[in-house]
């Protein structure tokens, strides 16, 4: 070792010692955490068994520590977890007692049912195990950006909490600025004050419907279209005017007929990779829609939630008129995680102010903590790679699921190359109701087309989520269905 450099030797030594101490500390922390979790589990089981029963005394902290050979600190942590879960009650100066008989749920209790357009159908089907949620509206857990969320959560946990109380009605300004930059890249140039953050696109649509529409208004909607939007409009008491969804977008001739036939207040459209057809509105159709809106004086409500799933996002309607008549809606549910309820509405300044007032009246503000988390995820260096991977996976699933349906006698209204959804029918003589129940009996939940119709009429078409349908489960049901149909024909 070179002479005359004692500071270098000391620095290397200090670094080595500190690194070793850090590793040992991490190991000890993990070991204590595993021990604590094991003891919590054991005590949960003991309480669930009824010994001691409700109100019964538990060992003191010191007794538990001696009995298990652990520190009093770890024993106290175990009780803190049980108190926080509601299983144990801490009585000052007396110790810890069983708060009530928790554990086993009552006989017949079932797990909570996930909410989306199929919520009521899930309630009907929950007696059967659902193995394939073929009609669901979200991506499988493994497709979501879990790694990015974990990274962002760790970073957020190191920062002080916001000092803004409930937050502001418009939402976190840095996130609004980020969304404004994203929109500018798609030729929609807005200030951050023209964006209001919401609890997902669903709240954005709800605010728009309640703020901009009145009972009795005529509103054009796509057929088929997005069920929750149709339900919001029905609840508002507006008159729905159906506009067929074609390969290039909405049927402009039908929209024009509705506009000529009476005062049309608004047109609601899902432009990119539409739910449920998977089609994208082409530029000539987009221009024709805006020309009609200008000529007849109606608003366009553009739901563009799937734009980032497209290999090349189409120019939004809002970019063609810079939000003069268009109110634009999007969210991160499809690109990060559906349980992360953050979305936004963008529009003319007076529209956004009205939406923010309505939001403040119903909820004061959206969750700034969630908005900070979303901002961290969106600015991660590997977020773009996640999007690219997601697009490739969806494109591959589109091809496989389309092939699975077509080779088994199914029909597809359209053949999208990207996105989450397919709109198709199955080869079967059974009624929609019987076919749905047969699928449930096979562990497959289908989305009946009637949910997507403005008039709620039955249709032989179904919505398929390709990410959820890509696998043996749906193919097996289709093979069983084909076999039953052949046997029925032979009879």
SS (H, E, C) the chain: CCCCCHHHHHHHHHHHHHHHHHHHHHHHHHHHHHHHHHHHHHHHHHHHCCCCCCCCECCCHHHHHHHHCCCHHHHHHHHHHHHHCCCEEEECCCEEEECCCCCCCCCCCCCCCCCCCCHHHHHHHCCCCCCECCCCCCCCHHHCCHHHHHHHHHHHHCCCCCCCCCCCCCCCHHHHHHHHHHHHCCCCCCCHHHEEEECHHHHHHHHHHHHHCCCCCEEEEEECCCHHHHHHHHHHCCEEEEEEEECCEECHHHHHHHHHHCCEEEEEEECCCCCCCCCCCCHHHHHHHHHHHHHHCCEEEEECCCHHHCCCCCCCHHHHHCCCCEEEEEECCCCCCCCCCCEEEECCHHHHHHHHHHHHHHHCCCCHHHHHHHHHHHCCCCHHHHHHHHHHHHHHHHHHHHHHHHCCCCEECCCCCCCCEEEEECCCCCCHHHHHHHHHHCCECCEEHHHHCCCCCCCCEEEEEHHHHCCHHHHHHHHHHHHHHHHHHHC
Split the chain (491 residues) into runs of 10 and give each run's mean pLDDT: 51 50 50 76 80 84 88 86 83 84 47 71 74 92 94 93 81 96 96 97 97 97 97 97 98 97 94 98 98 97 97 93 97 93 97 97 91 96 96 97 95 97 94 92 94 95 96 92 73 43
How much is the pLDDT for 100? 65
Structure tokens at 194: 């023209």
For domain 119-144+384-490, give its CATH number from 3.90.1150.10, 3.40.50.720, 3.40.50.1980, 3.30.565.10.
3.90.1150.10
- Domain covering 159-378, topology: 3.40.640
Strands (E), 164-254: 195-198, 218-223, 239-246, 249-250
Are 113 and 119 spatial neighbours (Cβ–Cβ below 8 Å)? Answer: yes
Confidence (pLDDT) at 9 = 52
Domain boundaries in the chain? 39-104, 119-144+384-490, 159-378
* Same fold across 39-104 and 159-378: no
Looking at residue 23, what is its pLDDT?
Answer: 44
Task: Give 39-104's CATH code, choosing from 1.10.260.40, 3.40.50.11540, 3.40.50.300, 1.10.10.10.
Answer: 1.10.10.10
The model's pTM: 0.80
At 411, which helix (H) or strand (E)? strand 411-412
């Amino acid at each position: 070792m070179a002479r005359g450099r004692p500071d270098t030797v000391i620095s290397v030594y200090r670094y080595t010692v500190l690194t070793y101490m850090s590793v040992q500390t991490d190991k000890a922390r993990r070991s204590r955490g595993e021990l604590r979790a094991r003891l919590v589990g054991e005590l949960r089981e003991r309480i669930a068994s009824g010994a001691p029963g409700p109100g019964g005394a538990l060992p003191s902290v010191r007794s538990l520590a001696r009995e298990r050979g652990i520190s009093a600190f770890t024993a106290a942590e175990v009780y803190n977890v049980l108190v926080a879960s509601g299983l144990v009650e801490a009585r000052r100066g007396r110790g810890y007692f069983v708060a009530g008989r928790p554990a086993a749920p009552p006989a017949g209790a079932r797990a909570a049912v996930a909410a989306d357009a199929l919520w009521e159908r899930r309630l009907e089907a929950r007696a059967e195990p659902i193995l394939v949620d073929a009609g669901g509206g979200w991506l499988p857990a493994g497709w979501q950006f879990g790694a990015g969320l974990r990274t962002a959560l760790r970073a957020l946990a190191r920062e002080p909490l916001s000092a803004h109380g409930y937050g502001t009605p418009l939402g976190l300004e840095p996130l609004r600025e980020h969304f404004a930059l994203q929109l500018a890249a798609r030729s929609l140039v807005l200030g951050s004050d023209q964006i209001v953050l919401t609890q997902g696109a669903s709240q954005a649509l709800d605010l728009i419907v309640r703020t901009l529409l009145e009972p009795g208004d005529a509103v054009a909607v796509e057929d088929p279209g997005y069920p929750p939007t149709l339900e919001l409009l029905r609840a508002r008491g507006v008159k729905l005017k159906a506009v067929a969804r074609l390969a290039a977008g909405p049927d402009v001739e039908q929209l024009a007929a509705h506009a000529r036939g009476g005062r049309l207040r608004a047109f609601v459209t899902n432009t990119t990779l539409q739910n449920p057809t998977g089609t994208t509105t082409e530029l000539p159709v987009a221009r024709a829609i805006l020309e009609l809106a200008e000529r007849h004086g109606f608003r366009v409500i553009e739901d563009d939630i799937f734009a980032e799933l497209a290999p090349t996002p189409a120019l939004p309607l809002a970019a063609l008129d810079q939000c003069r008549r268009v109110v634009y809606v999007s969210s991160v549910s499809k690109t990060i995680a559906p349980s992360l309820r953050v979305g936004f509405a963008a529009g003319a300044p007076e529209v956004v102010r009205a939406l923010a007032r309505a939001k403040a009246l119903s909820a004061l503000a959206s969750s700034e903590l969630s908005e900070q988390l979303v901002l961290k995820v969106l600015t991660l260096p590997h977020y773009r790679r996640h999007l690219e991977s997601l697009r490739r996976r969806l494109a591959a699933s589109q091809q496989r699921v389309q092939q699975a349906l077509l080779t088994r006698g199914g029909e597809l209204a359209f053949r999208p190359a990207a996105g989450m959804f397919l709109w198709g029918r199955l080869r079967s003589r059974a009624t929609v109701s019987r076919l749905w129940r047969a699928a449930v009996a096979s562990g497959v939940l289908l989305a009946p087309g009637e949910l997507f119709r403005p008039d709620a009429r039955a249709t032989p078409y179904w919505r398929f989520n390709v990410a959820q349908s890509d696998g043996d489960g749906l193919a097996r049901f289709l093979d069983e269905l084909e076999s039953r149909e052949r046997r029925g024909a032979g009879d």
